[in-house]
Structure 1
Amino acid sequence: MTESNRLGSDVLLTGATGFIGAFLLHKLLEGTQARIHCLARGETAEAVLRRLQAAQSRYGLGTPDPSRIVPVPGDLAAPALGLARSRFDELAGAVTAVLHSGAEVNLLRPSRMLQATNVAGTREILRLAGAGKAAVVYVSTSEVFGPADGTADESTSPEGALQPVSGYGQTKRAGELLVLRAREDGLPAAVLRLDRVAGDSRSGACQPDGDDFWLLVRSALTTGVLPDAPVNMTPVDFAAEAVLALTATPGTGLTGPVAHLRHPRPVRMAEVAAALGEPVSVVPLDEWAATLRHHGERPDCDPILRLLPLMVERVLGGRPRFLAPLTTTALDRLGLRYPPVDTPLLGKYVRQLRSTGFLPAPIRTSTG
């Protein structure tokens, strides 16, 4: 990532109706003067703008300035991004940078079901960027590393024992390879891998749907147990700020093609239990899994209880250790410090998830 990665006057952003993408849009509007071209599904530009505004509202980000947003009705899974050739060429000639955070995220689907969006879509993004030599920032994930012993830093390639096992991880790795190959061919491009992303550190706004960590936490309110294992998570507002700072600011000292965002302090399950404020015990992993299996045998159980033990490697395995030494040094140079993810912030997340109904209201005991 070098000076050529400064974002310029016109940024194409994908995934802006999703969780991370919504915060990237907010930070772009807040911290740059660029026009933001947002590719999203919708029949019309007006329909896309409504989806973008709904996402900003959903996460407490206010009302975006419509004069700075150019809604682009399209589809990552379609040839030419679902655009007419003239519109594709027009966009290719306009944008100075692309922030590609759009993807289909599903840890249960096989890779063949995710290829169109996550691989073919990335290929089309690179074709568009290449026409005008626009810089490309590809937002990836630690999921590109499969569960194996050892460490994985910015220079580690997800190959051999470290190759991804989920279909999602496999397609994101395929997208990475396309981006890195384009970089070798002269396109200014970078890959930013994010570890687990948590809610907004200021408002507590979360996206729990499909998030195995929050499903695990919700299960504890049924089973009364949490596994004794640390979990690493980075607040989404900081993740978005860091992505933009690393890619838009010259002179960070981060000159390689890959960056990692990983909070330096893991969260202990005792902190999660304290934030819940309910009678939840932290127990060894094998005892936790046995308890979930026992509850999962009940006919009226939440089906997720049967699946959670299968997610242990992903949520709690910590293998390989995802490290970010070069990126952390670059963030230090930029004056960016990870906000603490501690019991007060976890409590803010819990209150927000209770307000939406994802977590049940706390049990109140009578004092007689």
Structure 2
Amino acid sequence: MERDALPPADLAHAAARAAGAAVVLPPRTVLVTGATGFVGSRAVHRLLDGTQGRVVCLVRARDDAQARSRMVAALRAQGLWEESLGQRLDARAGDLALPRFGWPARRWERYAAECDAVLHAGALVNFLLGYRDHRAANVTGTAHALRFALFGRPKPLHHVSTLGALDRHALHAGAPLGEDTDPRRVTVPASGYSRSKLVAEKLLLRARELGAPVTIYRLGEIMPAADNGVPNPRALTHLLLSAFHEAGVRPAVPMRTDYTPVDETAARLAAGLAEGPAGADYHVFRTESVDLAAVGLSPAGAADAADGGARPLPPREFMATLAAAAEADERSASALLHAVLTSLPATGADGVPDFAGLFVDNPRLFTRAGCAALDERHGLRDGPLDKAFAAYRATLTG
């Protein structure tokens, strides 16, 4: 991890060469990695719908035709696809883990010349895998994205990270961590995913100190938006709440986190892209604390539970209920949640998972003054969370 956090010689040289270089603002063409993901596809839509720019999407696919098909399918799955946006959507097959994304040299050079900025949202996210499993996509892939940004005409790199890179340190810091926290001086996080994101941040911070135009966005718990309530099907939060609704039970343990709608997150990413190349760090999360276990999708202290009246059970009984549901239907949300939870270390009492520790109460551990200033500069306002809850609730119960 320490070796991976040091920019290779070619990147260090390119970063120094980029110092003070002029950039195009607002960017006319943006390369987006991770474009088919929950956050990435929202960001792609925000750029296509909110600007007149062109978006180049790096998509894992066998060829460009399948890349475009996957990109359109990702937008359609979130209810965002509009044929009128297709003319400015350029999807290309590629792989973050490969040099030059696996592109021929001429394609790499062409897009490096045409793009004005890079939004790097691509990552492997699997909380059951270690650092080595995440390294190729999340660390080497970040180095390749930076290499693309610095090739030829320097372009700003906007890197999507996670508050999880700092949460273990924040738990013992004694005060909420600000956006100026130096990732090189924090406690190493527990999960392989968060470790890989911390290493990527360290690499980018060093490159920024040398002259590379890098902005970092540390995201909180990204959740469905009020406009359609479409969830991230791969998120642990969605699996958890789906199982609560399906089984009619939940653990009688507080599970606090933020609820940050994905559309609001995409708006912050688009706003950052429109700003100068000086570089900044933003904590992107809603400041309300939500208890997923006790009040479903309602703010802390609210009475209208969104968990379908799920009955609270002691953790051991809850796990036994999930096990019985898994026996009855191995394809159910309860069965999948049981499989995930039994794969995690039994850190809770009585040999069961630590439900209170599954999520991090980001509003308690972090501040977001820089992100608030970004909001003010671009006229961004958070919408009422109750509308986002209602839209998501309709998805869960529909």
Q: Normalized against structure 2, the TM-score is what?
A: 0.79
Q: Distance in 2 between matches of 1:277 and 1:314?
A: 18
**Residue aligned with 2:335, SS:** coil
Match of 2:52 among 33, 36, 41: 33
- How many residues are aligned here? 345
Matched, 1:217 2:241: yes
Cα offset, 1:63, TM superposition: 2.3
Matched, 1:305 2:338: yes
Q: Distance in 2 between matches of 1:296 and 1:224?
A: 9
CA contact (8 A) 2:297 2:306 kept: yes
Matched, 1:145 2:166: yes
CA contact (8 A) 2:249 2:318 kept: no
Cα offset, 1:336, TM superposition: 1.1
Using a 3 Å threshold, how does the CA distance of structure 1 residues 51 and 297 change in structure 2: closer, same or farther?
closer
Q: Distance in 2 between matches of 1:181 and 1:161?
A: 15
Q: Which residue identity does 1:139 align to in structure 2?
A: V
Structure 2 equivalent of residue 134 of structure 1: 155
Q: Distance in 2 between matches of 1:103 and 1:154?
A: 21
Q: Which residue identity does 1:280 align to in structure 2?
A: A
Structure 1 equivalent of residue 63 of structure 2: 44
Cα offset, 1:311, TM superposition: 5.3
| Superposition pairs of residues 133-282 of structure 1, within 5 angstroms | 133-147=154-168, 148-150=171-173, 151-158=176-183, 162-209=187-234, 211-221=235-245, 222=247, 224-226=249-251, 227-249=253-275, 257-268=280-291, 269-270=294-295, 272=297, 274-276=304-306, 278-281=308-311
Matched, 1:105 2:125: yes
Cα offset, 1:185, TM superposition: 1.9
Q: Which residue identity does 1:54 align to in structure 2?
A: A
Structure 2 equivalent of residue 292 of structure 1: 318
**Residue aligned with 2:359, SS:** helix
Structure 1 equivalent of residue 95 of structure 2: 75
Match of 1:17 among 36, 43, 67: 36
Structure 2 equivalent of residue 86 of structure 1: 106
Q: Name the Cα RMSD after superposition.
A: 2.7
Match of 1:95 among 76, 98, 115: 115
CA contact (8 A) 1:137 1:190 kept: yes
CA contact (8 A) 2:149 2:157 kept: yes
Quick check: 301-310 or 45-54, which moved more? 301-310
Match of 2:370 among 310, 326, 330: 326
**Residue aligned with 1:72, SS:** strand
Q: Which residue identity does 1:138 align to in structure 2?
A: H
Structure 2 equivalent of residue 348 of structure 1: 391
Quick check: 40-49 or 122-131, which moved more? 40-49
Using a 3 Å threshold, how does the CA distance of structure 1 residues 22 and 303 change in structure 2: closer, same or farther?
closer
Cα offset, 1:277, TM superposition: 6.3
Quick check: 298-307 or 159-168, which moved more? 298-307
Q: Distance in 1 between matches of 2:271 and 2:227?
A: 19
Using a 3 Å threshold, how does the CA distance of structure 1 residues 311 and 124 change in structure 2: closer, same or farther?
farther
Which sections of structure 1, spanning at least 5 residues, go unmatched?
356-368
Q: Distance in 2 between matches of 1:37 and 1:12?
A: 5
Cα offset, 1:7, TM superposition: 4.1
Q: Which residue identity does 1:175 align to in structure 2?
A: A
CA contact (8 A) 2:287 2:363 kept: no
CA contact (8 A) 2:306 2:393 kept: yes
